[in-house]
Amino acid sequence: MKTLEFRNGDKLPMIGLGTWKSKPGEVYQAVLWAIEAGYRHIDCAAIYDNEKEVGKALDYAFKNNWVKREELFITSKLWNSAHRLEDVELALAQTLKDLRLDYLDLYLIHWPVSFKPGVGFAQTREEFYTYSDVPLSQTWQGMEQCLDIGLVRHIGVSNFNISKLKEIIDNNSIIPEMNQIELHPFLQQNKLVGFCKEHGILLTAYSPLGSSDRSASIKKADEPSLLNNSTILDIADNKGVSAAQILIAYTRHRNIAVIPKSVNKERIAQNLASLEVALNEKEMTSLNDIGINYRFVDGSFFTSPQSPYSLDDLWERE
């Protein structure tokens, strides 16, 4: 398995199984199929509401000697309602309990947006905290404390733009080791990728295939399709592989980890097999030339008139 390397030498497998949108009743089997196929990187989050079932699958795999704990890299994420200093460790403890683990390999602040405790998804102004109420540096301090006491081996962020990364870097002692972001040929994020690489921050790409199965409430009627893009299909046809495999290989060729989600046994195996798909310079240029700066997960669900946040709090303006 090809890997990325953390500052201390720990390795992150470049292809992981994403579990966002994997329903209870499906994710258990998907995790077991993934481990059986050779995956050693599983990406989770508390808000996905399936960590208990993921934990059940991990426990089964460990007890039946499919894999050892130290051979798996498990990521989870801190939800928006646990950003206060006193809430971070409690949230991580619940995730560890649900996943049946003693530690995580990587813990990420899921979004640079803060809700009040107990709020699943803020709708009214009263359910949000502002950056004045709960500065990101306070949340990061909680992450550092979790690292110090051994509940997690690496800490990072997700959906952070350059200004938010700078806020963490300028006000805390530990630089984030990871930024998980949406990334694919439609949204190449070159400015943000460059900043992260300059500061030694690894990257993981989510929604690498376009997340066409996400809720209709966060989809647009006229959104483009990565899997049906003619350039991507032409390269896939020439190589005798799937469009999904080309998209995963594209991200890997940029030295960025990638976490395609699937609950289909054959596609789980196919996604991992994209490790063997090589793209030449001409093909990478063709894929880069697609760039239309289209974001599938646009974050507008956090920026309603009732919210203190705007899209400028989330994204880079390319």
List the CATH number of the domain containing 202: 3.20.20.100
List per-residue pLDDT tens for the chain, 318 residues long: 899 999 999 999 999 999 998 888 899 999 999 999 999 999 999 999 999 999 999 999 999 999 999 999 999 999 999 999 999 999 999 999 999 999 999 999 999 999 999 999 999 999 999 999 999 999 999 999 999 999 999 999 999 999 999 999 999 999 999 999 999 999 999 999 999 999 999 999 999 999 766 566 666 778 899 999 999 999 999 999 999 999 999 999 999 999 999 999 999 999 999 999 999 999 999 999 997 889 999 899 999 999 999 999 999 766
| Any domain includes 180 | yes
Confirm whether 286 is domain-assigned.
no
Nearest 5°: the CA angle 266, 271, 277 is 125
Count: domains in the chain: 1
Question: Which are the contacts of 265, defined by CB distance < 8 A and separation ≥ 6?
Answer: 33
Given the residues 28, 48, 107, 129, the one annotated as active site:
48
Residue 183 lies inside a defined structural domain of this protein: yes
Which one, of 108, 279, 268, lies nearest residue 185 by Cα? 279
Beta strands 155-158 and 106-109, pairing class: parallel
Tell me: is residue 110 an annotated ligand-binding position: yes
Domain containing 98: what range?
Answer: 11-220+251-276+292-313
Answer yes or no: is 318 within a domain. no
Please check whether residue 174 lies inside any domain of the structure: yes
In contact, 72 and 40? CB cutoff 8 Å? yes
Q: Is residue 92 part of a domain?
A: yes
In a domain, 245, yes or no: no
- 206 among known catalytic residues: no
